[in-house]
Structure 1
Amino acid sequence: MPEAAGPLVGRRVLVVEDEYLIAMQVKRWLQVAGCEVLGPVPSVDQALDLIETCCPDAAVLDVDLGYGDSAYPVADKLDILAVPYLFATADAGLADTSVHGRRPRLNKPFLEAELVRAMAELVATSRNAP
């Protein structure tokens, strides 16, 4: 397999996803694109702990993490740290008028090319871009 090249190579990307199969697929796709994947983790607490120990360059967040939990506290922490993120979700309730609703979003199910393109755009437009 050829070595990955492009805007995602070497980027540390946090993946917050509670559905195991989706989490593993997103991880694999990002690794193929050259990312170092942090996680995936299925909960807010685990995500916040991971952010404290290794600040990511970007993140992919599922909105609904089950048991009534949402990734919004993770998004808020990433906002404070100026880390770009997008929501990868099937949650139609993500209000477009809220601060979170203005964030980039991938609607589930999505394809590998859609994820890689969205992440490349996200890191290219971030303040942390090289």
Structure 2
Amino acid sequence: MPKHILVVEDDPLVSLVLENYLEALGVEVVGCAEDVAASLHKIATLTIDAALVDIHLANGETSEAVIAALKAAGIPFVVMTGGSLNSDKAMTAGAPVLIKPFTLAQFEQALNHI
């Protein structure tokens, strides 16, 4: 299981839940980002073993550029979404996917696959 994770999530409550899940699993959150620009900055400047990435962010942003940067850097990731993946399958190909809401057991299983 990765030890240093970036969380890309626009909802502060969901970010808090994710941080609590990660803490319960003994994983350190090295940063949280709520938009694409902050995510890209953190990918470029932090030591990250993996990332949790919400596909649909605030103000109509998607995490396509974030996922591309993670792939380019060789950083594995888990995709999270509250909706359907039908239009986002190409962007998420090969990554574990968590459909919100999810349990701690599902969360841990996804992390173990990266």
TM more than 0.5:
yes
- Aligned partners of 2:33 and 2:89: how far apart in 1? 28
Aligned position for 2:28: 36
Aligned counterpart for 1:108 among listed residues 100, 105, 108: 100
- Aligned partners of 2:26 and 2:102: how far apart in 1? 19
Runs of 4+ in structure 1 deviating by more than 3 angstroms, as ranges, are 93-97
String of CA shifts for 1:87-129, please: whole Å, max 9, x gaps: 111131444651424421000110111111210221xxxxxxx
String of CA shifts for 1:24-51, please: whole Å, max 9, x gaps: 0001111111111022211111111111
Task: Give the aligned CA root-mean-square deviation in angstroms.
Answer: 1.6
- Aligned partners of 1:77 and 1:33: how far apart in 2? 26
Aligned position for 1:52: 44
1:69 and 2:61 are equivalent in the alignment: yes
Q: How big is the shift at 1:60?
A: 0.5
Aligned position for 2:6: 14
**Aligned-residue identity in percent:** 29
Whichever residue aligns with residue 44 of structure 1, its letter is V
Aligned position for 1:89: 81
| CA 1:55–1:17: 2 relative to 1, 3 Å | same
8 Å Cα contact 1:13/1:37 also seen in 2: yes
8 Å Cα contact 1:13/1:59 also seen in 2: yes
Aligned position for 1:118: 110
Q: Which has the larger radius of gyration?
A: 1
| CA 1:94–1:74: 2 relative to 1, 3 Å | farther
| CA 1:109–1:66: 2 relative to 1, 3 Å | same
Counterpart secondary structure, 1:98: helix
8 Å Cα contact 1:13/1:36 also seen in 2: yes
Q: Which runs of 5+ in 2 are unaligned?
A: none
Under a length normalisation based on structure 2, what TM-score does the superposition of the two structures give? 0.90
